[in-house]
Amino acid sequence: MRWGVVVFPGSNCDYDAFDTLGRIFEQEVRYIWHKDRDLKNIDGIILPGGFSYGDYLRSGAIARFSPVIEEVIRFANKGGIVIGICNGFQVLTEAGLLPGTLRENVNLRFICEDLYLRVENNSTRFTHLCDEGQVLKIPVAHNEGNYFAPPNVLKELEDHNRVVFRYSDRQGKVDEISNPNGSLNNIAGICNKAGNVLGMMPHPERRCDPVIGGIDGQVIFKSVITAAMEMAK
């Protein structure tokens, strides 16, 4: 696949995503500056973590009006793969590509640690290589990861299996204790209705190289890449 990693002023996980795709998965990858409108021939886009525009006003609120986001919306609406990680997830909600809002963590702490995620839906393009209910150990690093959506939106997400990942314990038990930030229904990641846009607070790109502590994040990128290869056949 040919990937683009969007870079906003204040992005700081762009290189992690670039390195993971390029070095670990040997994908063709390039950066896309936030003022760029030409996505060229790209098959997948990563909106990386960080603090786009310093998180001024609200996380993702200003990035959402970057020129590149108009193109990302167009790309997503045509079925292109878009993955928003952490701040990228916040941008996707502000842009309306995913529902809900990431609010301040309920305990008002910046959380930076390895957490467990249970794969809730292993039939998406992002998770089809996961076992049902597989538990992944993936780090989070955020201050605004508290997923909120009004009851009707939450119901639609749940009814249509659009919750892709939930915070859980090591055994996959989802409860209040395993909820790090107050997210409704322990939501850590969701996808859009068409299934081509994923937003998640945890950082799978930081768990793809065994040198830095594990490879649980690999399955997500592998899933996307294999799904794209299947579709291209």
Q: Which residues bind another protein (CB under 8 A)?
A: 57-58, 61-62, 65, 94, 100-101, 103-108, 148-150, 182
* Three-class SS of 64-121: HHCHHHHHHHHHHHCCCEEEEECHHHHHHHHCCCCCCEEECCCCCCCEEEEEEEEECC
Q: How far is the CB of 179 from another protein (least distance, A)?
A: 13
Instruction: Look at residue 175 and give its three-state secondary structure.
Output: coil
Cβ–Cβ under 8 Å, residues 201 and 188: yes
User: 108 or 211: whose CB is closer to another protein?
Assistant: 108
Match 């290189």 to its residue by tokens: 15
Cα(111)–Cα(105) distance, integer angstroms = 8
Q: In the annotation, is 86 catalytic?
A: yes
User: 19 or 156: whose CB is closer to another protein?
Assistant: 156
Q: How far is the CB of 101 from another protein (least distance, A)?
A: 4
Cβ–Cβ under 8 Å, residues 163 and 124: no
Q: In the annotation, is 34 catalytic?
A: no
Cα(143)–Cα(113) distance, integer angstroms = 12
User: 23 or 193: whose CB is closer to another protein?
Assistant: 193
Cα 29 off chain centre by: 17
User: 57 or 177: whose CB is closer to another protein?
Assistant: 57
Q: How far is the CB of 155 from another protein (least distance, A)?
A: 15
Q: How far is the CB of 103 from another protein (least distance, A)?
A: 6
Catalytic residue among 34, 130, 203, 208: 203
Q: How far is the CB of 62 from another protein (least distance, A)?
A: 8
The rounded radius of gyration (Å) of the Cα atoms in the chain is: 16
User: 140 or 154: whose CB is closer to another protein?
Assistant: 154
Catalytic residue among 13, 86, 130, 191: 86
Cβ–Cβ under 8 Å, residues 63 and 23: no
Q: Which residues are catalytic?
A: 86, 203, 205
